[in-house]
Structure 1
């Protein structure tokens, strides 16, 4: 069960990473959105580390 949970968290982390990358490469990136996505990514990273 814990492996499935960790895999789900890692998938969400990768999705956030992709969204950050897409937003960063737009002609006029939204800095507030990027900051929010990075905060969510960091929270997920912390949760992944705790699940380990």
Structure 2
């Protein structure tokens, strides 16, 4: 999932350099959402993974 976030961030950077502000803004928004979802899933896997190991 982090790979997808990085991909959208690169798309946003390229679009911004080429002057496509709308596409760049949308790509950054998608990258932020995917990044935060990945962080939440990571934290949840840490919490629930430790419970099962005990």
Ranges of 4+ aligned residues in structure 1 off by more than 2 Å: none
Q: TM-score, normalised by structure 2?
A: 0.67
Question: RMSD between aligned alpha carbons?
Answer: 1.0
Q: Which has the higher helix share?
A: 2
| Higher RCO (CA-CA < 8 Å; seq separation 6+) | 1
Q: Which runs of 5+ in 2 are unaligned?
A: 43-54
Which is greater in Rg? Answer: 2
* TM-score for the superposition, normalised by structure 1: 0.69
Gaps of 5+ in 1: 1-8
